[in-house]
């Protein structure tokens, strides 16, 4: 496999469900049920290299665009497995070629462990911070999954919120006038 770095100062994006924008750097949502490159229980933060890809990724399970909060992040991530290079360099393990499988269909309908979870286990076992991979929802878009337990030691993900506009707790979702 081929590795790449996202140098300090790289900007990435994520569209959040507004109610959960209180924890923009948490990977807990992905850990709840798992994601393409993380099994349930493994915290992972899914980000995109551009805003439109982040929006398309957010919209992927809905025919409509549900409300979202778009956040930008400043990152420094070293040692990412770069799936954009799958067909370059030394041959990759054959399992990597299955990364586009519909992981939700395999897991929830066929009750089969997605191959991408095995790949993610391999990446984490080798100490890598995450994976860079082409978007399946936006042609030409690129995503990054960063494993929360790999942040630190030169790897970082910081939300850009200089004016403190992101909500700090769930109180912004309850109205004092009783109207919902």
CATH number at residue 33: 3.90.175
Please state, rounded to an integer, the average pLDDT across all residues of the chain: 89
Report if residue 170 sits inside a domain: no
Q: What is the mean pLDDT of residues 127-132?
A: 96
Distance CA 6, CA 12 (A): 10
* Number of folded domains that form the chain: 1
Measured between alpha carbons, how far is residue 105 from residues 14, 41, 137, 142 in Å?
Answer: 24, 19, 16, 22
Report if residue 104 sits inside a domain: yes
pTM of the shown model = 0.90
DSSP-assigned beta bridge partners for residue 81: 3, 131
Question: At 173, is the pLDDT very low, low, confident or very high (cuts 50, 70, 90)?
Answer: low
Report if residue 176 sits inside a domain: no
Q: What is the mean pLDDT of residues 136-155?
A: 94
Distance CA 96, CA 83 (A): 8
Would you say residue 176 has pLDDT above 60? no
Give the structural domain span for 22.
3-161
Distance CA 7, CA 78 (A): 7
Task: Give the per-residue pLDDT at 171.
Answer: 76
Report if residue 178 sits inside a domain: no
Report if residue 166 sits inside a domain: no
Task: Give the per-residue pLDDT at 168.
Answer: 82
Question: At 89, is the pLDDT very low, low, confident or very high (cuts 50, 70, 90)?
Answer: confident
22-67 pLDDT, tens digit per residue, is 888 888 888 888 899 999 999 999 999 999 999 999 988 777 777 8
């Amino acid at each position: 496999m081929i590795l790449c770095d996202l140098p300090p100062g790289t900007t990435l994006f994520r569209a959040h469900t507004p109610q959960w924008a209180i924890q923009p750097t948490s990977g807990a949502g992905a850990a709840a049920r798992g994601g393409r490159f993380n099994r349930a229980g493994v915290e992972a933060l899914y980000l995109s290299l551009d805003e439109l890809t982040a929006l398309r990724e957010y919209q992927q399970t809905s025919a409509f665009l549900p409300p979202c909060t778009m956040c930008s992040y400043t990152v420094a991530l070293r040692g990412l497995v770069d799936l954009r290079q799958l067909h370059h360099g030394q041959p990759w393990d054959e399992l990597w070629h299955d990364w586009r499988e519909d992981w939700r269909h395999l897991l929830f309908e066929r009750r089969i462990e997605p191959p991408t979870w095995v790949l993610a286990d391999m990446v984490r076992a080798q100490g890598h911070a995450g994976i860079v991979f082409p978007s399946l929802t936006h042609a030409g878009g690129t995503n990054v999954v960063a494993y929360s337990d790999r942040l630190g030691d030169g790897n970082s993900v910081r939300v850009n919120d200089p004016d403190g506009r992101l909500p700090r707790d769930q109180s912004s979702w309850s109205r004092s006038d009783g109207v919902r």
